[in-house]
Structure 1
Amino acid sequence: MLTVDDAFRKFKSRLELNDREQANASARQNEVRDYLDTKFKIETSFLTGSYKRHTKTKPLKDIDIFFVLKDAERHYRDKAPSVVIQDFCDALVAKYGKDAARKQSRSVNVDFGVFVDAEDNTDYRILSVDVVPAFAKGQDYEIPDTDSGTWIKTNPKIHAEKATAAHQAFSNEWKGLVRMVKYWNNNPKHGADKPVKPSFLIEVMALECLHGGWQGRFDREIQALFATLADRIFDTWPEPAGLGPAISNGMDNARKQRARELLTAASRDASLAINHERQGRHGDALAGWRALFGKKFPLS
């Protein structure tokens, strides 16, 4: 029978991007970049977000692409953030259709209409990308935030550097653990609303909550992480670069309370699975982890 440790390693592997998914992601994001180059004066564009940091989980969606606009487009900076979001959305609707392009607070989401099967497989295709207009601001960037009606500063490079440092400090297991919790966060059993939103908050919290170094067991690290996330979900979690609004601002107290309850339940379920393993009930342990995480956690 598959051991729990082997199951976790297989689970971690299933959440990593393979060559076919990388190829599809590359083709899709280049397609969007090439098209928008014909619609706006763009200085440069680049991948960012959890895809770039290798903390994106599956099914693969919402790949972030920054579009740094030239000075010729500076007039947008003097207008409400909703203006540039609307214009980018209109341009993307012209190519992909009105049902595919959707305005978000800081980006435009483009859905490629990919079907996700019962096992969370997508035939190695990505579901969507997030298009983020931006202006350079020294070493940082300013992006539109329609929720606040202002332009906010950010620096994806600092985010990536902190994730890399955390990964190395945790024996190169940090990103895998983050992907696992993000996959749990996406589980349909939670309903339409993810427990933790945005999912980037999980990564931000893990920069502090995964500490003390890798102890060699996925099951205990995951159980402890769920418990710590539950305990600290009401804390204020600043944007990692120290530039924009706190990432935790995306959740009000009611959402945080719901997240605490679900994270606490996840920690409890993880403890039960660990106890099954301790008592020699390996099949029950694997079934417990599968029930907690979902379809991609292996039973054999």
Structure 2
Amino acid sequence: MAGPGRKLVLDLLGQVRFHVPYLFFFSGEGVKEDSSGQHKAADDMRRKCGRQRSWLVWRWMLPINCLEISGFSLKSLVQVLECLRDDRDIERIANIGGLMPVPQARFTELLADIEPSATTKSRASGGHSGIREHLRTQEQFKNRYVSSFLSGSYARSTSIRPRTSADGQERPDVDIIIVTNFSTSDHPDDVLNEVCRALEDGGEGYEVERINKRSVRVETWQADMDIVPVVQTWNGYMIPDRDNGTWKFTNPPVHTSWSAEQNERFGGRFKPLVKLFKWWRRINPSGRRPKGFVLEKLVSLHAPISQTHYGEAFAQLLKNIYDAYGYLAAMDQKPFIADPADQSNDILGKVTLAQWKDFVEKVRVYADIARRAQVAEDMEEATRQWRRVFGDRFKATANVAKAAAYGGFATAAPVAAGYTFPNAMAAPANKPRGFA
């Protein structure tokens, strides 16, 4: 077997984790022994595959009991071997037993590519550390400063690589919470103006870009940062809102711990799915909102928990979102989605009905495209459809070494590059009694 067929089988094997607790030993003469006792299943495969095929005469040992692919079974392996035997429909092997047309490695490679780089993370760290130390020690503000911490996607490890700015740089967005001893009786305008003055420090500090509704914006060569002053309460924090002159309840640490809990619930796949969802939104925008934490909440509510293949999980995520909200959007309605930090707060509060309807329609369109990618019988067509979903960064050929280096996913790792079928007999060094 050579050419595209060989490459496809290697891609298939790239989705397999070989624990090898036991092996089936194949030969042209049939199965002599297997340590699991499943003689009947193995012998059935031998009969299906024929006795005189040269690749079986190799006595190739294959660990087949631990194929960690949804729906893959001994019966499915029989179908694979039948295709190999007849040298036909080789492109369809990846669909047997629920296998996905595009290997997991292509999605983990994309995840590695859209992850903020080490340089970006280092710059972000330097940027927020400098701001926090400046406010902690600034002469007119140090008596206001109590403590500080990070919030937002950077703190939750759900951020993706930043957009490239006009000057060609990739600067991350970082949210910095400054716990102060202000009082909720202080006017939000006064609080934010005092933070602004402390940052500028009479021209010796930072250049403030603007004062936002609830934060002060500073943009440096390292990062774009929103500095948010808060007042701590017994159950969270109060944040100033200069638009209406009031203080509002918030609790960013709950969002951070909630995100970590979801990632554990999903077996380590929650945050990677969030990143894929965010990347899809960037490639296929429908407006400014929904974004950020709203997307994380949607993944938590509607992504399949046990599905380990990111392509299938993402296709199901989009379909589930549309199934849940499509009928409401058609009736010009938005759902209420509770904030984990405050069950009375609707996290869709800032999303207009028009924005929500555009988003739901975009989900509908791309749910269909993702499903087409999953059921495609041709690898090239499946890849083409996924590139419509995720853009040109979704590679036509997986870079196994790069994908394997990405540590943010919990599933079977691809086989090492360079794996080849043996050209000679393979057998145990110390064969059990009964082996040929």
Give the TM-score normalised by the residue count of structure 1.
0.82
Q: In structure 2, what is the Cα distance between the partners aligned to 1:78 and 1:184?
A: 43
Report if aligned partners of 2:302, 2:321 keep a CA contact under 8 Å in 1.
yes
2:395 aligned partner: 298
Structure 1 residues 260 and 149: alpha-carbon distance in aligned structure 2, compared to 1, 3 A threshold: farther
Separation (CA, whole Å) in 2 of partners of 1:31 and 1:220: 42
CA distance in structure 1 between the aligned counterparts of 2:125 and 2:135, rounded to whole angstroms? 16
Q: Deviations over 1:105-153 (max 9, x none)?
A: 322232336xxxxxxxxxxxx6412211111101411112334542111
Pairing 1:263–2:363 present:
yes
Query: Which residue is 1:58 aligned to?
Result: 161
Q: Does 2:130 match 1:16? A: no
1-side partners of 2:254 and 2:263: how far apart? 14
Q: Would you say how many aligned residue pairs link Structure 1 and Structure 2?
A: 275
Aligned to 1:56, what secondary structure does the other structure show?
coil
CA distance in 1: counterparts of 2:241 and 2:340, whole angstroms: 17
Deviations 1:249-275 (A, max 9, x none): 011211111111111122122112223
Cα–Cα, structure 1 residues 240 and 147, in superposed 2: closer, same or farther, change >3 Å? farther
Give, as a single letter, the amino acid of the residue that structure 1 aligns with 2:321: L
Which is worse superposed, 219-228 or 148-157? 148-157
Question: Which residue in the other structure is 1:145 paired with?
Answer: 241
Whole-Å separation in 1 of the counterparts to 2:238 and 2:307? 39
Q: Which residue of 2 aligns with 1:272?
A: 372
Question: Quick one: which of 182, 205, 210 aligns to 1:102?
Answer: 210
Deviates more, 1:38-47 or 1:175-184: 38-47
Q: 1:147 to 1:255 in 2, by over 3 A?
A: farther
Measured in 2, the distance between the counterparts of 1:175 and 1:237 equals 19
Measured after TM superposition, the shift of residue 16 of structure 1 is 2.9
Instruction: Work out which of the residue numbers 68, 82, 93 in structure 1 matches 2:179.
Output: 68
State how far apart, in whole Å, the 1-side matches of 2:265 and 2:107 are: 20
Task: State whether residues 123 and 223 of structure 2, in contact with CA within 8 Å, keep that contact through their aligned partners in structure 1.
Answer: no
Conserved in 1, the CA contact under 8 Å of 2:318 and 2:367? yes
Any gaps of 5 or more consecutive residues in structure 2?
1-6, 12-101, 163-170, 326-333, 398-436
1:274-293 CA distance string (max 9 Å, x none): 233xx12x223223222222
| Cα RMSD for the two superposed structures | 2.5
Larger Rg: 2
Q: Is residue 2:316 matched to residue 1:249?
A: no
Report the CA distance shift for 1:299/1:136 in structure 2 as closer, same or farther (over 3 A). Answer: same
The whole-number CA distance in structure 1 between the counterparts of 2:343 and 2:237 is: 10
- Residue equivalent to 1:84: 191
1:111 aligns with 2:226: no
Aligned equivalent of 1:119: none
SS of structure 1 residue aligned to 2:394 = coil
Pair 1:223–1:86, CA change in 2 (3 A): farther
Tell me, in whole angstroms, the C-alpha distance in 1 between the residues paired with 2:145 and 2:113.
36
Q: Which amino acid aligns with 2:175?
A: D
* Corresponding residue of 2:259: 163
8 Å CA contact 2:240–2:246 kept in 1: the answer is yes
The reply to whether residue 224 of structure 1 matches residue 332 of structure 2 is no
Which position in structure 1 is the counterpart of 2:299? 206
Structure with a larger share of its residues in helix: 1
Contact preservation (8 Å) 2:218, 2:225? yes
- Structure 1: any 5+ residue segments left out of the alignment? 114-125
Q: Which amino acid aligns with 1:291?
A: R
Q: Give the TM-score taking structure 2 as reference length.
A: 0.58
Per-residue CA distance 1:72-101 (angstroms, 9 max, x = gap)? x33xx2233233234334544654435xx2
* Contact 2:196 2:216 (C-alpha < 8 Å) held by counterparts: yes
Closer, same or farther in 2 for the Cα pair 1:28/1:66, shift >3 Å?
A: same
Cα shift readout 1:216-255 (whole Å, capped 9, x = no counterpart): 2111110111223334453111221116732110112111
Identity %: 25
Amino acid at match of 1:64: D
Query: Contact 1:231–1:260 at 8 Å: present in 2 too?
Result: no
Q: Secondary structure at the match of 2:363?
A: helix
Deviation at 1:161, TM superposition (A): 2.0
In the TM superposition, residue 7 of structure 1 has moved relative to its aligned partner by 0.8
